[in-house]
Amino acid sequence: MGFDAYLSLTVLALVFAALMFTRLATDVILVGAVTLLLVFGVLTPAEALKGLSNEGMATVAVLFVVAAGVRETGGLDAIAQRMLGQPKSVDAAMWRVLAPVAALSAFVNNTPLVAMMIPPISEWAKKYQMPASKFMIPLSYAAILGGTCSLIGTSTNLVVQGLLIDYQKEEFEAAKGQGAAAVTASEPHFGMDLFDISWVGVPAALIGCTYIWLFGRRLLPDRRPAMAVLDDPRQYTVEMMVEQSSPLDGKTIEEAGLRHLQGVYLAEIDRGGIILPAVSPQERLRGGDRLMFVGIVDSVVDLQRIRGLVPATNQVFKLASPRSLRCLIEVAVSERCPLVGKTIRDGRFRTHYNAVVLAVARQGERLKQKIGDIVLEPADVLLLEAQPSFVDQHRNSRDFLVVSRLDNSNPLRHEKAWVSLAIMAAMVLLVACGVLTMLKASMLAAGAMLFTRCCTVTAARRGVDWEVLLAISASFGLAAALEKTGVAGLFAESFISLGQGNAWVTLAIVYTVTVIVTELITNNSAAALMFPLAIATAKDLDVNYLPFVVAVMMAASAGFATPIGYQTNLMVYGPGGYRFSDYVKIGVPLDILIGIVTVAITPFVPGWGF
């Protein structure tokens, strides 16, 4: 090996060390590594930036916008409520999480899917007095397993698809340049079809979910979420109204999911001027009912996102801007505020500040008046609905001590929910039928989400995870260096040597090494790093490279044994109150199980045999 190869190996070792032993972000580490290789001349600028033009990475970016459209409309909320239902045992409840989430993850990228499912599953578990720790890891694992059933289920598959397309195009051009007889004038089909991976992914998902269902109850801890023990001293009083002919109209408190709400409770109902205190769970809601809730700010924000509940004050409909463009803002009233000593109505708060008061917190005291009748006092904390510009306009105002915007607090566009789901279904159908490529279909779907106003341009931009995209792009540059300097070939020879030339054993080794790399760094980085090694290994064995590509695809998603192996594992770490050992206990056997399924099935798939 030459200097470039030794330098690439050194940089690779530094990347592993930094990812394992520092708190630096993944994208920072990988971009830094590619920068070093570029500065020392190992990579050309075109090679270093190759990942930015990769079709798989571009598809991942566009799918973030599609997911934002589904999230902003609450498209999965109704599905989540129906699929979770009313289980009678932990086993039944776990299957209600595993099966639907795995199925949905085949068509919705698993990272935004898990983000959308954490709140409803947490509330549902608390409602039926079951520990969330029994469901958060199954939620992540089911989303990962379901994502392996199609090319769009996980960014890992899309990354490998992009690498495969680039490799096949290079091979085609090289063969054409050499005048190979087998090369025709027309360009062949590159990459894999939408459901090609299903040959392996579906059996793996079925077996994996069955394993979690059978052993999850015993291997998963019975533990409260770490965040559940934190109490917020601000107790807001907020008044909501049941919309006429909404999904809540005619349902009981229990059926509507308004009993045992996390962090908030229903204090009373005002029905046409008649107050119903200490409401029974069997009390049926009616359109026009005004519900008085008391709770912490995060729970009050969640109330705003329940379909069929709207703020009881009609002031929200008098603001000039559409509700979908507004957000929730917390302000603390100062002694100098001109409205102190006046009611919110008499002080004409909306006219004065172009904002509407939704809730008031006063040192833990429950305020029994309607919002408009509350007399403002110094140090009152108000929850407002206003345009985001309110924060900049009043940040230094003498009227307020504190002005703070709440993240992800814009009202959902429930009326667009089925539009967003229809767009997503059309995208999947177009790809499945071979009408459009994944990139083209996802770009059309993203455009449709914006055109139909399922999400705003601002929400679409906010929905793109730039850290993930930068990490993926930089991984491609690092992988290119390993291939260019011959390091990939060296590793491939080592795999063959360990496997003693046996394709089956070598396939198992490639899977095992990829899983280890995935558990130590991240799924997308592992996929990009291992892809050239898999191709080189297949070439040296003189066998079909597709089984090795699929092994990398499956293994890079099989990050079950550590919370850092896959981003969804990290997302459920806090809500489930987990420890590192919890993942090891249930994840290591699952890694092995999925490996056995992958190695046993892949070579028998038509067109993939050795």
Residues in the chain: 610
CA distances for 341 relative to 331, 377, 378, angstroms: 17, 6, 9
Torsions phi, psi for 388 (to 5 deg)? -55, -25
Helices (H), 293-335: 297-303
Helix/strand/coil for 357: strand
Please name each of the domains of the chain with its CATH number: 236-405 (3.30.70.1450)
Q: Residue 205: its pLDDT value, please?
A: 95
Q: Residue 436: its pLDDT value, please?
A: 83
Q: How many CB atoms lie within 10 A of CB 184?
A: 9
Q: Residue 577: its pLDDT value, please?
A: 81
Q: Which two tokens stand for residue 119?
A: 């709140």
Q: Residue 206: its pLDDT value, please?
A: 96
407-464 per-position pLDDT tens digit: 766 777 777 888 988 998 888 788 777 788 778 888 999 999 999 988 888 888 887 8
The helix (H) or strand (E) run that includes residue 292 is: strand 290-295
Alpha carbons 353 and 406: distance in angstroms, whole number: 18
Q: Residue 229: its pLDDT value, please?
A: 37
The one-letter code for the residue type at 220 is L
Report whether 563 contacts 578 (CB < 8 A). yes
SS3 content of the chain, % helix, strand, coil (to 5): 55, 10, 35
Below-70 pLDDT ranges, the chain: 1, 20, 76-81, 115, 119, 177, 179-187, 224-234, 260, 262, 314-321, 324, 408-409, 488-489, 492, 496, 520-522, 564
